[in-house]
A and B are shown apart, each in its own frame.
Chain A
Amino acid sequence: MKLNRKIKKQLPAVSTASLPDIVFILLFFFMTVTTMKPTNLLVENTLPNASETEELHNPDGVIKILVGKPTQTMTVVGNAPKIQLGSKFGRVDDIGTYVLSEVAKMPEGIRTMAMVSLKVDKTVGMGIVGDIKNELRKVNMLKVNYTTVQGDVFQSL
């Protein structure tokens, strides 16, 4: 009996036919779980950690106010903490008008549920936050959410 049948040395090529499918699944995953970056950040925004958080239940009725030091590219405006309203810097006095105009843009049904999400850098002093809270009280926007990152509180101190 002859046993000198030649064994194929070459490995068969791995089929890459399903690779597009895999990538498409990944693509759809990211398209569904992420959202478009709403605005460019003009201020540094490292949010503090908190553990007793609640989710924002109604993302359409949320008005965001960002506070922090201007980012590296924005140092022309100085180094003191600034308020970002929409895509622009704003002063404390502008908050009332900004919030009211944002509320006016919302569909009527959710206006009463509108709330303000304060995204404040953790190094910022409480003074400016207190001023913002006072402005919000003046226009009767009393529902406030201190937006935080879910995590251990003591780690971020």
Chain B
Amino acid sequence: MAIKRETPEVNAGSMADIAFLLLIFFLVTTTLETDQGLDRLLPSIENEPRTIDINEKNVLRVNLNRENQLMLEDEIIDIKILREIAIKFLDNGGSLPNEKNFCDYCNGNRDRNSSDNPNEAIISLTHKRKTAYGFYIAVQNELVGAYNDLRNRESQKLFHQDYVDMEEEYFDENTHLVRKETLKKQIKIVRELFPQKIIESEVINN
């Protein structure tokens, strides 16, 4: 009697169930990463506090109070116009063409009572202990946004590419090394045109 050589077929009907179980397990135990944020560099601790002479007109004072209100100098303003104000301040270029610190790339109002040059313009940001973190981040975001807008403008003028795109390309792993070198130089040039100068401090009383 001949023995049947054919092996019986494995029932694959439950394969989908097994895969579904695995899928659900991974859906539950894993998360999509939220690794994005605002990069900041803290000042290092110095034993002797340095004093620098700064002209008052080169400082934009932004104060956050405990009620989560934004005060510019002494006025309460809406956060939505902060970016515009910051751009106006940084891009002012108030010094005259015959002065040493004349800013030839600025498009601002050239107001004598506002900042001389983006290199000298400083934004001072203070907050109280009770200021909400969310509000503080919103303000930081707007200030960084103001710098990015100006840097993008200059970057477009010089290299026909947005500054933020250049940064992204520079940090991309797939970018070629030669390209990275040129990007590094270009990023440095644009950063020097509008250096980020934000001073942060906490106001202790009340």
A interface, CB within 8 angstroms of B: 16-17, 19-20, 23-24, 26-27, 30-31, 33-37, 47-57, 59, 62, 115, 117, 120-127, 129-130, 133, 136-138, 140, 142-150, 153-154, 156-157
Q: Which residues of A contact B202 (CB under 8 A)?
A: 126-127, 130
Q: Which residues of B contact A124 (CB under 8 A)?
A: 132-133
**What are 6 residue pairs bridging A and B, where the CB atoms are less than 8 Å apart in the complex?**
A54-B39, A54-B167, A126-B136, A143-B39, A144-B40, A153-B137
Q: How far is the CB of A118 from chain B (nearest CB, A)?
A: 8
Give the contacts of B158-189 with A (CB-CB under 8 A): 167-168, 171
Q: Which residues of B contact A142 (CB under 8 A)?
A: 41-44
- C-alpha gap A57/B37 in the complex (Å): 11
- C-alpha gap A47/B133 in the complex (Å): 9
- C-alpha gap A144/B135 in the complex (Å): 18
Q: Which residues of A contact B171 (CB under 8 A)?
A: 55, 57
- C-alpha gap A80/B138 in the complex (Å): 23
Contact A146 B134 (CB under 8 A): no
Q: Which residues of B contact A123 (CB under 8 A)?
A: 132-134
- C-alpha gap A23/B130 in the complex (Å): 50
Contact B136 A35 (CB under 8 A): no
Q: How far is the CB of B9 from chain A (nearest CB, A)?
A: 12
Give the contacts of B1-52 with A (CB-CB under 8 A): 12-13, 15-16, 19-20, 22-23, 26-27, 29-45
Contact A48 B133 (CB under 8 A): yes
- C-alpha gap A52/B153 in the complex (Å): 16
Known: A23-B19, A52-B148. A120 touches B133 (CB 8 A): yes
- C-alpha gap A31/B142 in the complex (Å): 36
The 6 A-B pairs at the shortest CB distance, nearest first, are namely A122-B134, A127-B129, A34-B30, A23-B19, A147-B37, A20-B15
Identify A53's interface contact among B16, B26, B36, B68, CB under 8 A.
Answer: B36
Nearest to A138 among chain B residues (CB) is: B45
Interface of A, helix, strand, loop or mixed by DSSP:
mixed
- C-alpha gap A136/B137 in the complex (Å): 19
Q: Which residues of A contact B144 (CB under 8 A)?
A: 52
Contact B135 A157 (CB under 8 A): yes
Contact B35 A59 (CB under 8 A): yes
Q: Which residues of B contact A138 (CB under 8 A)?
A: 45
Contact A35 B42 (CB under 8 A): no
Contact B129 A23 (CB under 8 A): no
Contact B45 A137 (CB under 8 A): yes
Q: Which residues of B contact A130 (CB under 8 A)?
A: 127, 129, 202
Contact B133 A27 (CB under 8 A): no
Contact B133 A117 (CB under 8 A): no
